[in-house]
Amino acid sequence: MKHLLVICGASGVGKTTIQDYLVKNYGFKRVLTHTTRLPRKHEVDGRDYYFETRSSFFKNNYLEYVEYDHCLYGSSAEGLNRAWQTSDWAVIVLDTEGAAAYKQKVTADLKCWYIYVSSESTLAARLEERDTNAAARLASSEAQRDLHVPPKLKDFCNLIRNDEWQETKKIIAKLLSK
Ligand SMILES: Nc1nc2c(ncn2[C@@H]2O[C@H](COP(=O)(O)OP(=O)(O)O)[C@@H](O)[C@H]2O)c(=O)[nH]1
Ligand SMILES: Nc1ncnc2c1ncn2[C@@H]1O[C@H](COP(=O)(O)OP(=O)(O)O)[C@@H](O)[C@H]1O
C-alpha cells in the first residue's frame, strides 16, 4: 500500500525541516516539486526543487499548481510515482491550496499535517535568519492566508505546533506510531 503525507502551513513554520527529519529518520521519500522561484543559498536544482523558468514550468504535467508570492509552484503525478518507486512512504510540502487539491484527487492513503508556530514574531525572526526578503514573504497574501488552517482542511489535517523542536519530535513520533 502506498502512503502520502502532505505537510502544509505558512512560510517559515518548519515544513521543510520536518520533511527532512522524516526522510532522515523515518524512511520517507521526498516528492520534489517545480517552482519558478529563484534558488536560495544552499538550494540545489533537482534536490530541493526543480527550478523552472515561466516557460519551462508549463512543459510539465501537473496534478495541481498554484501561484504563491508571485511565483509558480506545481507538483506532478510523475514526481509522486518517482518517490513511491523507492519507498511506500512519500512526503510532499504544499501550500494549503495544494493540500486541498490533494484531498480531492489522491486516492492512496493520504495524511495531512498542518504546521504552525504560536507567535508570529517568532516566525518572523526565524524567517529573517533564513531569508534576506523575509518580511515581504510573510506579508504575501498566500503566507498570511496559510497562517490559519482553512476550514476545508480542519478535519482532514493533524495540527502540529512547531515551537520547540524537542516537542515537535515527540508529536511526530506519536503520530507515526498510530
Ligand atoms: N500547491 C503547491 N504548493 C507548493 C508546491 N511546492 C511548494 N509549495 C508551497 O509553496 C510555498 C512556498 O514555498 P517556498 O518558496 O519553498 O517558501 P517557504 O514556504 O518560504 O519555505 C510553500 O507553502 C510550499 O509548501 C507545489 O508543487 N504545489
Ligand atoms: N522548532 C524550531 N525551532 C527553531 N527554529 C526552527 C524550528 N523549526 C524550524 N526552524 C528554523 O526555521 C526556519 C524556517 O524553517 P523551514 O523548515 O525552512 O520552514 P518552511 O519550509 O515552512 O518555510 C529554518 O531556518 C529552520 O531551521
Mean pLDDT by 10 residues, the chain (178 residues): 96 95 97 96 94 95 96 95 96 98 92 96 88 82 95 96 98 94
For a pocket test of ligand 2, which of 17, 37, 117, 127 has the largest count of ligand atoms closer than 8 A to its C-beta? 17
Judge residue 105's burial from the number of C-beta atoms within 10 Å of its C-beta, 0-12 exposed, 13-18 middle, 19 or more buried.
exposed
The C-alpha cell of 99 is what? Answer: 493540500
Neighbouring C-beta atoms of residue 36, cutoff 10 Å: 18
* Cα–ligand 1 centroid distance for 145 (angstroms): 13
User: Which pLDDT does position 157 carry in this prediction?
Assistant: 97
What stretches of the chain show up as alpha helix (H) in DSSP? 15-26, 54-57, 77-86, 96-105, 120-130, 134-139, 141-145, 151-154, 165-176
ipTM score assigned to the predicted complex? 0.98
Say yes or no: CB of residue 19 within 6 Å of ligand 1.
no
User: For the chain, which residues make up each domain, given as ranges?
Assistant: 3-176
* Cα–ligand 1 centroid distance for 97 (angstroms): 10
Ligand 2: lining residues by beta carbon, under 6 Å: 9, 11-17, 126, 129-130, 162, 165, 168
Say yes or no: CB of residue 74 within 6 Å of ligand 1.
yes
User: Which pLDDT does position 55 carry in this prediction?
Assistant: 94
* Cα–ligand 1 centroid distance for 147 (angstroms): 14
Full-model pTM: 0.97
User: Which pLDDT does position 131 carry in this prediction?
Assistant: 76
For a pocket test of ligand 1, which of 95, 106, 141 has the largest count of ligand atoms closer than 8 A to its C-beta? 95
Reply yes or no on domain 3-176 having CATH 3.40.50.300. Answer: yes
Nearest 10 degrees: Cα torsion 159, 162, 165, 170: -10
User: How far, CA to CA in Å, does 11 sit from each of 69, 146, 148, 163?
Assistant: 10, 8, 12, 14
SS3 30: strand
Which ligand sits nearest to residue 19's alpha carbon? Answer: 2
Give the angle subtended at the CA of 120 by the CAs of 116 and 121, to the nearest 5°: 135
User: Which pLDDT does position 178 carry in this prediction?
Assistant: 77
Atom of ligand 1 nearest to the CA of 49: 6
User: Which pLDDT does position 137 carry in this prediction?
Assistant: 85
